[in-house]
């Protein structure tokens, strides 16, 4: 099921992010630096920014477990441009 990110999703969001490889593309850019979401402190900050500032943040769930995240936002840097970030646990999630 695809739905909008809610404040109740914090624990699942941090858990999902912590399962990623530190060397993957699972990051956003803030002030020209990569912020890796595998760090719980960083993922919590991104989660809160998504709730406050994101134009759209959707999650894909199976059995109450996050399998993918889509963020459309401009909060990642100081410029007035939009970014689309898609994070999934595997390639099959994208096709779902």
Q: What is the CATH number of the domain that holds 30?
A: 3.40.630.30
Question: 13-27 in b/e burial notation, b at 16+ Cβ within 10 A?
Answer: bbebbeebeeeeebb
Residue 80: band (very low, low, confident or very high) from pLDDT cuts 50, 70, 90:
low
Q: What's the structural domain count of the chain?
A: 1
pTM attached to this predicted model: 0.74
Task: Judge contact between 75 and 54, C-beta under 8 A.
Answer: yes
The per-residue pLDDT for 1 is 87
Mean pLDDT to the nearest integer, 24-47: 79
Per the structure, the complete domain to which residue 62 belongs is given by 2-95
């Amino acid at each position: 099921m695809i739905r909008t990110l809610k404040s109740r999703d914090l624990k699942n969001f941090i858990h999902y992010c912590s399962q990623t490889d530190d060397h993957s593309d699972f990051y956003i850019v803030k002030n020209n630096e990569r912020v890796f979401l595998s760090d719980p402190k960083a993922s919590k900050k991104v989660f809160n920014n998504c709730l406050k500032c994101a134009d759209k943040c959707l999650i894909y769930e199976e059995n109450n477990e996050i399998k993918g995240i889509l963020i459309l936002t401009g909060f990642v840097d100081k410029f007035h441009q939009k970014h689309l970030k898609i994070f999934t646990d595997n390639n099959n999630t994208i096709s779902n």
